[in-house]
Amino acid sequence: DEEQNRIEVVVPDDQLSLAIGRRGQNVRLASQLTGWDIDILTEAEESERRQEEFRTRSQLFIDALDVDDVIAHLLVTEGFTSVEEVAFVPLDDLASIEGFDESVAEELQNRAKGFIEARDAKFDEQRKGMGVADEIAAIEGLTPGMLVALGNKGVKSLDDLADLASDELIEIVGADAMSADEANGVIMKARAHWFEDEAK
């Protein structure tokens, strides 16, 4: 993970203690030399984690797209990680999956788009109920789900959002949802009215 300066190293199960070193000295030294935080996993841990990710993503597609586990497994195997990817990938990419044709691909995209619209409408209703300002909702780069997360943390006005540091915003919306550059962009958009007010 280049943004977090973090790397995972997978080692054979019987080499874990050697990789870590006495009281962690090998990991510490490697971390100091590279400037990165290093996490060491055994092959068994990595395999277990991948299997859990596969199960979680498959279940996401089963629930969101109302498909059987075979189709969900195919989507995950082909590298799809979110309903948004299914909804907005070029139709040919979906249709090229073995066992799919254009009609199956269209149906999957329609289901994905329907799921996203329903979910976002629900999030928008929640956002409004929390009192999160429409001005925040108008900022490009914030999804309806992120707006609900902001509301849950008491960020309801442009000034509330503008007062955040990028790492605080990332912590609220999730590190996998927004990069540091994107967070900085959102915060600067929220601060734009400060500069407009000063210019008057």
Range of the domain at 70: 46-116
Q: Are residues 35 and 89 in the same domain?
A: no
Does 101 lie in the same domain as 140?
Answer: no
Task: Assess if residue 121 is contained within a domain.
Answer: no
Q: List 9's β-bridge partners, or say none.
A: 40
- The DSSP annotation for 64-122 comes to HH---HHHHHHHHHTT--SHHHHHHS-HHHHHTSTT--HHHHHHHHHHHHHHHHHHHHH
pLDDT of residue 200: 62
pLDDT at position 136:
92
Instruction: Pull the structure tokens for residue 174.
Output: 């999730």
CATH number at residue 159: 1.10.150
Q: Is the distance from CB of 114 to CB of 108 less than 8 angstroms? A: no
Q: What is the CATH number of the domain that holds 103?
A: 1.10.150.20
Question: Both tokens of residue 72?
Answer: 């969900």
Assign residue 22 the CATH number of its domain.
Answer: 3.30.300.20
Single residue among 86, 116, 146 that ends a domain in this structure: 116
Same domain, 60 and 79: yes
Same domain? For 112 and 53 the reply is yes
Residue 126 within a domain: no
Query: How much is the pLDDT for 166?
Result: 92
Q: How many domains does the chain have?
A: 3
pLDDT tens sequence for the chain (200 residues) = 777 788 888 989 888 888 888 888 888 898 889 888 888 889 999 999 999 999 999 999 999 999 999 999 999 999 999 999 999 999 999 999 988 999 999 999 999 999 999 999 999 999 999 999 999 999 998 999 999 999 999 999 999 999 999 999 999 998 888 888 999 999 999 998 888 766 66
Query: What pLDDT score was predicted for residue 197?
Result: 66
